[in-house]
Every structure is written in C-alpha cells, then in structure tokens.
Structure 1
Amino acid sequence: MAVTKRCGWASGDLDIMREYHDTEWGVPLHDDRLLFEFLCLEGAQAGLSWRTVLLKRDNYRRAYHDFDIDKVAAMKDRQLEKLLLDPGLIRNRLKIYSVRDNAQASLEAIEEFGSLDAYLWSFVGGKTISNRWQGMGDVPASTPVSDRMSKALKKRGFRFVGTTICYAFMQATGMVNDHVVSCFRHRMRTVRREE
C-alpha cells in the first residue's frame, strides 16, 4: 500500500492539519473575504502554533461576522471587549482589536486597488512563485517579497503583519508554493473551493 507523502508539518496524527494541508494550504486564493480571513488568522497565530488557530477557526468566523470586511470594520469597542471573554478565541487585546484595524485598512486598499486580491497579489506579480524545496528545513521564514509586503501593509495601518506572518500568509494563500518536492501537493494546481 502506497503511503501519501506530505510536507512534514502535516504528517502527524491530527486530521485537521492533514485536511488543511491537503485541501487549502498553497492553493491560490483570490477571494477578498477569504484573503482577509487568512491575514487575520495568521496574525492571531503570532507566537503560537497554526494548529492552535486552526482549531479555533470556526470561533473566529462566528466572532468576526464570517470575516465580512465591512461588518468587521464597523465593529464597536464594546463588541471587541466582549470577545476578550470568549474562550474560543486567543484572548489577546492587541490581536482582537487588530482584526478591526485590518478590516479598515483593507477597505482603503479595496478603494484604491479595486480589490484586496489585486493589492495583495501585486507583491508576487499576480502569479504563484513556485519553489522546489527538498525538505522543510530549506523553507525560509521570510523572503525579500514578504519584507516588502510587511513594510507596505504596516504603512497602510495593518497590524500583526511582520515579515514572518506575511510569508506564512503567502504560503497559505498560494502566493508561493512551498510544498516540498516529495509532497503529493507540490505539483497540484487546483483552485481552492469557495466556502
């Protein structure tokens, strides 16, 4: 029986990580709402594991109006303060408030560029950068492109968008293909399904 080869981080015994790796991670994403969701979730991960965030993902969707950018941008302080009491979220005040800040900054980018998709994908020239890493140890934590993205996003008022977070975001949304060459997903170029 053939064993399906995956990137090392998804080869454990947790189904949610395998499912995420096999169906979402690295698939080019061009939906503004989902791009906003991933940007916020990557920020929530700062200092924690992606597994932690993935297990809380449904709670984040519920708390932040399914990441509807307009609705999140309009959230009031009292609503955000209430979220600090929600055990289904990472209860860090700066991270909780950053989601609203990122929604407001996203609206400005959409106004200027026509979509969040057009703005964010402009950093990679509108197409996926396909890498050929032999092992997980070869995959960088950041690149000059993520450095530029981070600097530009911070200048626009986005928060929790350091270069490492930006690179993780680029990996998650298919701006870069960082599946190792031995992974069955490396050559797959499917379009992520809408949720």
Structure 2
Amino acid sequence: MSEWIHMFETWLMDYGVWGLILVSFADSSFFPIPPDVLLIPMSIANPDNALLYAFYTTAASVIGALFGWWIGKKLGRPVLVYLFKEERIQKVEDYFNKFGPMAILIAGLTPVPYKIFTIFAGVSGIRIRVLVIWSIIGRGFRFFLEAIIIMTLGEKAKPFIEENFAMLSFVVGAVLVILYIGYVMIKKKRNSVQ
C-alpha cells in the first residue's frame, strides 16, 4: 500500500500546483494522502512561493471540506461506517460533543484524518458558514505555519517538521481550545449577570 501511495505522490508532483490543489481538495473529503506530502517538497524547492502554495492548499482544502460536508449531509452516517472504523467515528462524535464546531479547528490543525470531521459535520448538520470559518482558521494556520518554517529553515525544514510538527500542532490546538473555553465561560458569566 505504501508503495502505491508513494507512486501516487510522485505522479501528483509532476502536476505541480494542480496536483497540490487536487490532493488538498481530496484529503478534506475522501482521500488518504494529506497535502503536506506535496506542500513541503514543493515549498522547499521554491521557498519564494511557499506562502502562495500554502494559500492554494488552504483554499482547496476548505472547498474539499464543503464536499465532505455534502457527502455527510446526503449519504449520512452509513458513509462514515463504510469509510472509517466505528471507534474513530465515536472519537469524532466525542470531540463534537465536547468542543462543538471547534472540533473542526482541532482536526484542521492536527494530523488526524480531517475528512472524517468534515463528513461528520454534514451528518450532524453543522452550518456551512461554521465549517468554512473553522476550516480556514485550522487549515490555514497549519499550512501557512509549514510554509513559514520552510522559508525560515530552508532544507532543514523537512526533518524539523517531520520530528516536531505533530507536537507543535497539538500544543497550538490545546492553547486554542483553552482560549475558546475561557471565552465561552466569560460569555456565559456576562450573560448570567445581565
């Protein structure tokens, strides 16, 4: 399987920006290859365009999230059961119950399969506007951070990202969750006083 994925990555690299856009769209809705596998080497090869590549990746990923939402809305929970293990679906459901739509942000930042969150957003009836906002923030932060790291570290960026990016994205996600919970608590407190 990994040989097949590597061959497909190589094939997509031949298409440059269009391959990056295609995999970014597909990753957010149905495809197992994350866009980072193209974004990182393309940005290292051409660091002057790293931010532009991050923009393309983010935009295509958000559009793909809308397609994932549509899949969930039209095909419902059976498509989740067909594509993913029940334990993964349950974890995503727990995230949505605990964090609400902010679960989309967490998934957008971290290396968890984003498509399961976008499809579940459609199944659970999350509003499109909410999906788009949290997807832009989560996916944008992730891909632009990768681009900035590449512009800063150059060739050394790839091993740095491979070794540290998962932890870095989890830490950023945790900080954002804490800030969001604090915001919700302050808002509830203000509303109860009035």
TM-score by length of 2: 0.35
Q: Which has the higher contact order (CA 8 A, sep 6+)?
A: 1
User: Which structure would you say has the larger Rg?
Assistant: 2
